[in-house]
Amino acid sequence: MLFPGSASTVSMTEEKARILIVDDQPGARELLKGLLYLEGYELILVSSGREALSRLAEFNPDTILLDVMMPDMDGFEVCRRLKADERWSHVPVILVTALDNQEDLVRGFEVGADDFLHKPVKGLELRVRVRSMLRIKRQFDQLQASLKLREDMAAMIVHDMRSPLTPILGISELLLLKTDASTELLHDLKTIHNQAHRLNAFLNDMLILAKIDGGKLNLYRSFVDVNQLVLTVEENYRLMAESRKINFVLHLPPRPRPLFLDANLFQRVLENLVSNALKFSPREG
């Protein structure tokens, strides 16, 4: 059941914080509702842990008040399952319990509880602890919004830089195919083409870092010929090696077994290793 609180303490321009109250005892639920009613929260009352878990996406709570002693599934198990789900692990959980021994407190923190309230619940203590948990949730949401903005900006920058970079790569590759291998122009064209490839790799790194920070890095794995990846990296960095008079020596298996991995990400790892090796190796090495 959903109960809107008093609107007098909440700005009309702000979304109300949602508090999920989970307790099998109707009287206990009504008590917590009454103690929080004037705070202006959206109060959501459910009678079991299973119902709470099954309807989290519907409720999308900002803080959960969770009774420990419930039949069927107790608050410890509900909290453990909730914190094990990455969609909800960031939502603060306050365990409400009549238990006060050290073992129960330790067990509660082990399953991921963020705070405790002891019965009988005192109104002032309840309100202070809920406000504290809401501050934590608000800071998390702000951090996620900042990371999302960073990812979006990185994607926008990459898109804008790739627009002119794509024709540079394409045209330089066509010119390489048409240019006589004996001409001095060929060396310059290879330099342009390889440096454009490096810039494209840098843009890919920007996107990868933004996604890692946002926790959204997706791996696109497939069976890959690693020999071919190594040869591609060697070709991309050959001119840099030649300019430093460094020789590449490759030892590749004659019959490589395909590996199940993300080809683009693995190639970036190889390129970073080769780039650092060239940067810190002595000339004519």
Continuous segment of H or E residues that includes residue 92: none
3-state secondary structure of 255: coil
108-to-50, 61, 74, 104, 256 alpha-carbon distances in Å: 18, 20, 11, 6, 51
pLDDT of 130 strictly over 50: yes
Task: Quote the mean pLDDT of the chain.
Answer: 84
- How many Å from the N-terminal Cα to the C-terminal Cα in the chain? 73
The CATH architecture to which 219-285 belongs is 2-Layer Sandwich (3.30)
Query: What pLDDT does 8 receive?
Result: 37
Q: How far is CA 194 from the centre of its chain?
A: 32
The CATH number assigned to the domain with range 2-121 reads 3.40.50.2300
Domain 141-215 CATH class label: mainly alpha
3-state secondary structure of 79: helix
- Backbone phi and psi for residue 174, each to the nearest 5 degrees, phi listed first: -65, -40
Paired tokens of 7:
């609107």
Q: Hey, where are the domains in the chain?
A: 2-121, 141-215, 219-285
Closest CA to 157 of 205, 112, 115, 197: 205
Query: What pLDDT does 1 receive?
Result: 56
**CA–CA distance, 41 with 257 (Å, rounded to integer):** 59
Continuous segment of H or E residues that includes residue 2: strand 2-4
Give the pairing type, strands 115-118 and 221-224.
unpaired
3-state secondary structure of 16: coil
Paired tokens of 229:
């990846």
Query: What pLDDT does 181 receive?
Result: 64
Lowest mean pLDDT: which of 70-84, 183-197, 247-261? 183-197
pLDDT of 229 strictly over 60: yes
What pTM was estimated for this model as a whole?
0.58
Task: Note the pLDDT tens digit of each residue in 255-272.
Answer: 888 999 888 778 878 888
Q: Which residue has the tokens 């890919």?
A: 204
Task: Note the pLDDT tens digit of each residue in 93-107.
Answer: 999 988 878 888 899
